[in-house]
Structure 1
């Protein structure tokens, strides 16, 4: 093939013996002394490795007891000018990730199971990486592996949008993330890791948990919100890491009373205290005579080391542990504090633009009056239909936007989200006094239901035609998003304020005896901060409240 930047050797295996009879002298030289990536595979499993002495490495594999390499029937070997010590770690990790994600959608009886027991060597950036990915990895996948029948999806584009790829414990880490994981792994203290939306906190969680259970054989607890439990379990299971990792909500792990070497807590700002506005199911874990014993305290009783991933401005309910109480616990336990600063989720890639994702995040915080930050308002002013940000005039236009994006990007996660400004009537059975067939309606033609469940919502059939609430998408990445900024938020006298009458999250409203509009306003503003920071590649917004829209236009300099 003209312009090919790599070489490939395909070998058959029988009972662990390689058939190299057809190999040329140059190929035998590569097999003996060349830098290569190799993939063993059979009908039910695969294994990815790297070496600079394949034949010797193969002999060692055959002597191993933990993995029966004689089960494999073939091996494909990648070599060439770009396959060397700089790129091998990267290619090995990416192939493990892509192969795992490719297999996940298949029926169980058709899946090939990953047999790697570790995640390989740590990634270090190297020159010409983009060229290696474009001219080696992509054609190797789409031509060699696809034609060999090893993979089902020919294009890598769709796989990059999968949950298993985005949160893979084999993913490329920034220097900031790598250093943080190394410090936690090598240390003995507990950590509070703070970062705003999209700074890669969940990626740190999956990579940290994987390294701890692989390299130390530790018993690792992973705490996530209920809408992410199934997803987290599937990620660790798919990469063969489920044995020493226990995933659950804080409530589930507290009830189990199991001891852990370390507990890693995602969305730690959503840990709960014994609030009057508490879900009745969770009250059984609390001591009514000791208000200190919130979920953070009780998790700390299960381990000598906590790692908390935290963003104070994503607390959205009165039952979330108050900021002061949270900080008091961190100080009392002498936790190490670290910050994640690099933005990964939002990818503002408007043609010719000089503004960045940070400008978008800072602009949202300024508009919502969460934090006053400097930003380039041009990120909100680009009139192009392909711009990252845009404002529309109706809810159905939001659905039109995400539906159109889905046609161009079939594997993308595209959803419409909204503030909790409608009752959840569709949740009840017909005949119930609060039942409603639809929760959101513009006219007879345009009507929608809330998300029918919080748990694993975006993975479920039909969710594209529903409106997602904060409880279905907190902690989740989406590719394209439409957001209804509803009438639960307005602007009065220059202040962005909640409208209690238009806010319908029963457990999200401060108790009557201590109700504070300023407290409710903080929760609702922070809900919209979360909704408006879900979109990776694009977002469209519809304002129901004219005063709030006018305020937004003033803040971002739009007419």
Structure 2
């Protein structure tokens, strides 16, 4: 894959939609035309699906077609003012880069949600069609640090839009300030005309369905025996030490590119501009990813082979091979053989920050645990051709190795 692999994946001229994807784009276009014609707005269309089910590809194609229609003469889509929103700064870079190559798709069409909301409110404007990728990253509480003073970003977007099309994956919720579940989404869209569609087919990983199921169970805390097909058409490995895994990822990166080491939170790190190292078995010592001030996504910068990626730099991106370190936060409870979260070892307070609207301590603790497990799911599914895994917790590591040896 080339340096601009992420852009090529999303650019409409570089992919061919499946029949299901084509039908879904056509259905959303028809939904949009109907709502704009009948003026039953605001209206909402939601797409749900797990990591790798092609959600972003569909949105990219959809927005391209909306922009072509906006520059034509046929109503009701002609002369529409459309926007594409994404709350992930690294993913936003990809979309802006793509905009340079597509007719009528401009960089100014792509915004962070807060920028869009503030712009519309300040100018007393209403957008026609708003497409939101990674909508599970929308803020669901005020965040003054990010200049958002409302209660929920989706609610605010609906107030200044005629039609909203958004993607949700509840298994990719990775911060309490962005916490979403199905009940919250349904409550917000209930007053409006609403349609939805659920995607199930896995496009990113070449792994067997049985291994995908194993990863899904693993990210829910269930440690099951590895399926016999874990390595069928997919390079899945468990490593006894982190340094051996790092060397294997470097070798893969030299051969095919876009191969990176990533880790779950649970190692010391602060936003002070300095380097904060992860030290693990086998002499492993690497710094966390640095804030990326460039226009190039973190995963596509060659030098980041010498950094450990986080959920903040890797969510939403395809890698050829991923090597995941499970931090001290995650451990195997040998009484019930479940993977659990030790919150006493948390190092990212912002990720698990308390919410004033959730007063039940037990409920909030469950939310924090699920957010950490969600991050495992997201990071482990980054690799198209392979995923390598190492766990800091000795009991979990031994259980993984024992299961792995049985399928060798």
TM-score scaled to structure 2, two decimals?
A: 0.83
- Contact 1:267 1:309 (C-alpha < 8 Å) held by counterparts: yes
Deviations 1:338-381 (A, max 9, x none): 01121110013xxxxxxx2x322211111222699x99812336
Deviations 1:170-196 (A, max 9, x none): 210111110010011122352110011
1:378-527 mapped onto 2 (5 Å cutoff): 378-380=228-230, 387-409=234-256, 412-425=257-270, 427-428=271-272, 437-442=275-280, 446-453=284-291, 456-492=297-333, 493-494=335-336, 495-511=338-354, 515=361, 516-527=364-375
Aligned to 1:541: 389
1:524 CA drift (Å): 0.5
Residue-pair matches, total: 372
1:446 CA drift (Å): 3.7
* Cα-Cα RMSD: 2.8
- Contact 1:362 1:375 (C-alpha < 8 Å) held by counterparts: no
Aligned to 2:377: 529
Distance 1:205 1:555, change over 3 A: farther
Unaligned runs of 5+ residues in structure 1 are 1-157, 288-292, 349-355, 430-434
Aligned to 1:346: 205
Unaligned runs of 5+ residues in structure 2 are 36-42, 72-79
Match of 2:95 among 224, 232, 239: 232
- Contact 2:100 2:107 (C-alpha < 8 Å) held by counterparts: no
Distance 1:176 1:472 in 2: 30
1:45-444 mapped onto 2 (5 Å cutoff): 158-159=1-2, 162-170=5-13, 171-187=15-31, 188=35, 189-217=43-71, 218-224=80-86, 225-243=88-106, 246-257=109-120, 258-274=125-141, 278=143, 280-282=144-146, 284-287=147-150, 293-323=151-181, 324-348=183-207, 356=208, 358-369=209-220, 377-380=227-230, 387-409=234-256, 412-425=257-270, 427-428=271-272, 437-442=275-280
Higher RCO (C-alpha 8 Å, min separation 6): 2
1:242 CA drift (Å): 2.7
Distance 2:210 2:282 in 1: 39
Matched residue of 2:161: which SS? coil
Distance 2:156 2:252 in 1: 44
Distance 1:376 1:547, change over 3 A: closer
Distance 1:514 1:256 in 2: 36
1:317 CA drift (Å): 1.2
Distance 2:281 2:195 in 1: 54
Distance 2:211 2:396 in 1: 18
Identify which range, 450-459 or 522-531, moves more after superposition: 450-459
Matched residue of 1:198: which SS? coil
1:160 CA drift (Å): 9.4
Distance 1:375 1:169 in 2: 40
Q: Greater Rg, structure 1 or structure 2?
A: 1
- Contact 1:222 1:245 (C-alpha < 8 Å) held by counterparts: no
- Contact 1:370 1:526 (C-alpha < 8 Å) held by counterparts: no
Distance 1:408 1:557 in 2: 26
